[in-house]
Structure 1
């Protein structure tokens, strides 16, 4: 599995059989006021969920921890060394950004980035740039197991081209970006990648970490300029699934606590109906709409599949989620 210490099938052991409850919390300002206090309170809530998470034989290799925030637009404008477009006339943000898990091998990483940039052009979008995301595994005290499968972290920035001096923003931009992310993640092998998020509205910081390690690993989260009106946090208890960096929560659309016991039936029914899927709201032809359907590899887990379906419904339907 990508960026995972999960062993391969051998003898009577099959990782497909690896399937209790995690810890989740949400902080929000009901008036929509962004502040670093919301971020800090979210991280405090996460620390108080340490007992709902778990670790392996090494107490510093966590099952997973993460936080979902509103995209800190002004912070990113100050941190990157390239221009980011201003807001749309309706005030929505006109660039999408997300954390990409890339290979540690430099050649494979370069190939992966080149492939993502080529796909961006194919989707009619513009690459704004990359930011090497600062992380501090030593300061966070990451364990040997988590370090052994740790991806290279980078932030990817993309936008829709201008038309009449105006760019798409918000949910409309996210609908354009969605097929790009799906196509980028379809590759397997040495240059495989995973996007923790890629959106004009939200961002996810997560990893194979303990709750205490998360803010130490990602310095962005300690920056006073990192502001949000919402914070969704998750402490993972990987009882029947081996931990990995991508399987940490929150996912792009879901932070889930519990089991989905009808997963095989759900997956089979979804696959059986993919040929019938269509939406005028996903850009491109019908085949592209179907390629963006929420098909999930068998190595992905139940909550991942649920999240993928929610994202597709949100992109394909009228809801402004």
Structure 2
């Protein structure tokens, strides 16, 4: 978004030092070089570290936020427009209807979730539950389309939650429309369900989030063969994503089209796969961030994380710390591995 807006200035071009990522690295020049090489000033002295050979494209990332934290439908709609306008930042193969991945992270749409509960979407026995913001969690979960695997994975998830003194209020299938998907995306399309989790009455929000992280990790490990993947599980945010093009995200997810689906923030991402193949779980946003990838020290970072795993300890989790290991996963992209480390190493510190 930043680069796109700066390019609108007539007669000017945005140039940067190679591999630079901060705003301070950008400069305006009215007459950029027409041929490869650096910008040269008087006396043939280089005045910028600009090399056309070092130009790189990157994923599209954008964020909108209502600073007073007041939920608004407008935030969601404008975030979707921003995502669609970054379609040129996303990748696709020979099948233009199968994107490299796109998605949206939003603040918890409380009114929308409460309406679903009132309508019995999570189970008819729980229609009288009045949800309190930050005292419940919602997560979107990918499953393989094998019905036996789905049932077994959900039962295992519920049992693990019970062991952690958390209550699974219910599950509901997330309504989707796949008629716009290309053959590649459609072939690997998962079954998607949404889970609603309640904490015990004496648990603080900070500790609730830690227990949700443990629930997600343990349940994912226990259901690895069934290909269960938790997009997000939090009392604060909710992630809708997939192996989609930017223009397919809102049409695919009916939730995002609901008139009462509002949020005080929205983070969007359009993925351009470089070092990993596109897949539904590798799409972004991840649970707490979007990231451009291209982590050149990935192998060394992973090796060090595995090496230090035996010494990992958390004062909060105590002997249960081992249930959070290993921190890294070989199945994810470099950005996905980074978010694994980011989300787990906080509680382990």
- Measured against the shorter chain, the TM-score band is 0.7 to 0.9
The higher-RCO structure (CA 8 Å, 6+ apart) is: 1
CA separation in 2, counterparts of 1:240 and 1:199? 29
Aligned partner of 1:297 among 320, 329, 332: 329
CA separation in 1, counterparts of 2:178 and 2:300? 40
Q: 1:43 to 1:294 in 2, by over 3 A?
A: farther
Give per-residue Cα distances to partners, 1:204-251, cap 9 Å, x unaligned. Answer: 000000000000000111112111111110000012321000000000
Shift of 1:289: 1.6
Are 1:103 and 2:148 matched, yes or no?
A: no
Give per-residue Cα distances to partners, 1:132-187, cap 9 Å, x unaligned. Answer: 1111112xx01111111111010011112234xxxx35332111111110011114
Shift of 1:313: 3.4
1:276 aligns with 311
SS at match of 1:310: helix
Shift of 1:98: 0.5
Task: Check conservation: 1:187, 1:193, Cα contact below 8 A.
Answer: no
CA separation in 2, counterparts of 1:224 and 1:302? 36
SS at match of 2:139: strand
1:234 aligns with 269
Task: Check conservation: 1:293, 1:312, Cα contact below 8 A.
Answer: no
For residues 1-321 of structure 1, the aligned pairs below 5 Å read 21-80=58-117, 81=120, 82-83=126-127, 84=129, 86-87=131-132, 92-138=133-179, 141-163=180-202, 168=203, 170-187=205-222, 190-282=225-317, 285-286=318-319, 288-293=320-325, 295-316=327-348
SS at match of 2:181: coil
CA separation in 2, counterparts of 1:311 and 1:222? 30
SS at match of 1:68: strand
Shift of 1:106: 1.0
Task: Check conservation: 1:85, 1:95, Cα contact below 8 A.
Answer: no
SS at match of 1:204: strand
Shift of 1:77: 1.1
Q: Mean Cα displacement is larger for which, 72-81 or 197-206?
A: 72-81
Q: TM-score, length-normalised on structure 2?
A: 0.78
Shift of 1:270: 1.1
SS at match of 2:226: coil
1:11 aligns with none
Unpaired runs of 5+ residues, structure 2, are 1-56, 121-125
Unpaired runs of 5+ residues, structure 1, are 1-19
Q: 1:264 to 1:176 in 2, by over 3 A?
A: same
Give per-residue Cα distances to partners, 1:96-141, cap 9 Å, x unaligned. Answer: 1110001211111111111111111122211110011111112xx0
CA separation in 2, counterparts of 1:182 and 1:27? 29
CA separation in 2, counterparts of 1:294 and 1:232? 28
CA separation in 1, counterparts of 2:254 and 2:81? 15
Q: Mean Cα displacement is larger for which, 49-58 or 304-313?
A: 304-313
- CA RMSD across the alignment: 1.7
SS at match of 1:59: coil
CA separation in 2, counterparts of 1:224 and 1:98? 20
Task: Check conservation: 2:305, 2:328, Cα contact below 8 A.
Answer: no
Q: TM-score, length-normalised on structure 1?
A: 0.84
Give the structure with higher Rg (CA): 2
Task: Check conservation: 2:160, 2:218, Cα contact below 8 A.
Answer: yes
